[in-house]
Amino acid sequence: MVKSKSLLILGFVWPEPKSSAAGSRMMQLIDLFAAANYNVTFASTAQNLEFSEDLTRIGISIQNIELNSSSFDEFIKELNPEIVLFDRFMVEEQFGWRVSECCPDALKILDTEDLHCLRQARQLAVKQNREFTFDDLFSDVAKREIASILRCDLTLMVSEFEMDLLHTHFKIDNELLFYLPLFSEQLDDNPSFENRADFVFIGNFLHEPNLDCVCYLANTIWPSLHLKLPEAKLFVYGAYPNDKVMQLNNSKINFQVLGRAEDAAEVIKNARVMLAPLRFGAGIKGKLLESMQCGTPSVTSSIGAEAMAGDLEWNGFVKDDPKEFVASAIALYSDVVLWEKSQENGYLIVGNRYQKSSFENDFINRVYSIKENLKQHRNSNFMGSILQFHLNSSTKYMSKWIEEKNKKI
């Protein structure tokens, strides 16, 4: 089949699906558009790292692009995409005005991954040792992120909680938002309770919620848990661990920091319980979704479980108090009946809420509908037009000034 439609993805980084949920998410988006008969080009200013996906292997064109350079204008004019997808709002800030100027009829889609303003507000509250309040949301990051959402024709959300937050607290029209979570399926041949042992945590350490979580595990959760289950081990996996993480390794108490996992599913499905006491964050958590598909019950926090299960029962326990967290982990680790019931809960969540077939047609149809009625859609979002106008009047000329300055260096 000849692919006649063109999609340009502007990535904050090159996707690493074996390192992070964000990388998996990007590969799922690429797959959705490729299946809908789009020629996909992925471009980024970032360095292509060792564990980045080889996109050319699956027929995706790639392009290195530069910030503050008119070379991007020449590139996108020649490509002339029907759709441009921005991976995170920072990329839209950098290139959105160039897209609008060079390809004004291109449909602009923003993929949030999670709401950065929510994650950072919660992080600030944790650092200040206080409760998060919704007043914390109204930050400079929020102003930038909400402006980016308004400038785009459609924003993809992975969390229903965050969609409601945008609508309730920031008055974003639901016509600008689309709920598209990570996709998942139950894996085959998941080991039984008796054929599993130990606890596991996994997460990319470039993501600050994961770094904080492992420190919290090491200093608060695991010492108490180890006293109750001295034979059990906690295996900590994650790409890009720094020295702070590696120094948490402590064989005396079976706290083992092992760095990157070659096969995340393999290490998760061989553990009996996933521990994820996340103290801040946003979006839905790839580690917990993968835990469900691997049949591995989990103990997490309210932040970790947020928006993931809907009205369904969690595949384990959701506890914020450290003592209750430890007690729940021990119960789940020791009680086969409780463990198997929790495993089944996870399978139900995956089957009812994260099936690709439940979303792909509605998503592509929504894209087609907006594209066919783009002028009317944008007229209904006049605030976005205002923000686009002012972005062009500020960022555009700052970028051109930087470009000229760089020529003189």
CATH number of the domain that residue 324 is part of:
3.40.50.2000
Do 152 and 208 fall into the same domain?
no
Residues 53-60: contacts with CB under 8 Å, at least 24 apart: 53/14, 53/15, 53/16, 53/17, 53/23, 53/27, 55/14, 55/15, 55/30, 58/30, 58/34, 59/34, 60/30, 60/34
Question: Is there a single domain that holds both residue 286 and residue 153?
Answer: no
Q: Across all residues in the chain, what is the average pLDDT?
A: 94
End residue of a domain, out of 354, 372, 387? 354
With a cut of 70, say whether residue 197 has pLDDT above it: yes
The C-alpha atoms of residue 397 and residue 154 are separated, in whole angstroms, by 26
Q: Which of 354, 372, 388 is the last residue of a domain?
A: 354
Last residue of a domain, one of 354, 370, 386: 354
The answer on 163 and 246 residing in a single domain is no
Handedness of CA 217, 219, 221, 227 (dihedral sign): positive
Mean pLDDT value across residues 96-125? 96
Do residues 187 and 295 lie in contact, with contact meaning Cβ atoms separated by under 8 Å?
yes
Establish if 193 belongs to a structural domain.
no
Output the pLDDT for position 106.
98
- Which string of DSSP letters, residue by residue, matches 79-124? H--SEEEEESHHHHHHHHHHHHHH-TTSEEEEE-SS-HHHHHHHHH
How would residue 210 be classed by pLDDT, with cut points 50, 70 and 90? very high
Residues 383 and 301 in one domain: no
Per-residue pLDDT for 264 more than 80?
A: yes
Claim to verify: residue 350 and residue 364 sit in the same structural domain = no
Residue 300: what pLDDT?
98
With a pLDDT cut of 70, the percent of the chain lying above it is 95
Number of domains composing the chain? 2
Do 341 and 225 belong to one domain?
Answer: yes
Look at residue 375 in the predicted model and tell me its pLDDT: 95
Answer whether residue 194 is part of any domain.
no
pLDDT of residue 400: 64
CA–CA separation, 348 and 292 (whole Å): 9
Q: Which pLDDT tens digit goes with each residue over 349-371?
A: 999 999 999 999 999 999 999 99
Q: What pLDDT, on the 0 to 100 scale, is given for residue 397?
A: 61
Q: Are residues 155 and 132 in the same domain?
A: yes
Q: In terms of domains, do 239 and 140 share one?
A: no
The answer to whether 96 and 86 are in contact (CB under 8 A) is yes
Same domain, residue pair 287 and 324: yes
Looking at the predicted structure, is the pLDDT value of residue 403 above 80?
Answer: no
385 band by pLDDT with thresholds 50, 70 and 90: confident
pLDDT score for 1: 47
pLDDT in tens, 144-190: 999 999 999 999 999 999 999 999 999 999 999 999 999 999 999 99
Question: How many of the other CB atoms lie within 10 Å of CB of 394?
Answer: 11
Same domain (yes/no): 153, 206: no
Is residue 9 over pLDDT 50? yes
Q: What is the pLDDT of residues 11-40, one digit of tens each?
A: 999 999 988 999 999 999 999 999 999 999
Domain assignment of residue 283, given as a range: 199-354
304 and 272 share one domain: yes
* pLDDT tier for residue 275 given thresholds of 50, 70 and 90: very high
Rounded to 5 degrees, what angle do the CA atoms 193, 198, 202 make? 110
> Does residue 340 surpass a pLDDT of 90?
yes
Q: State which H helix or E strand residue 177 sits in.
A: strand 177-179
Stated pTM of the model: 0.93
Does residue 394 surpass a pLDDT of 70?
Answer: no
User: Does the structure show a pLDDT above 80 at 392?
Assistant: no
What distance in Å separates the CA atoms of residue 178 and residue 156, rounded to the nearest whole number? 5
Do 303 and 403 belong together in one domain? no
Exposed / middle / buried, residue 407 (Cβ in 10 Å: 0-12, 13-18, 19+): exposed
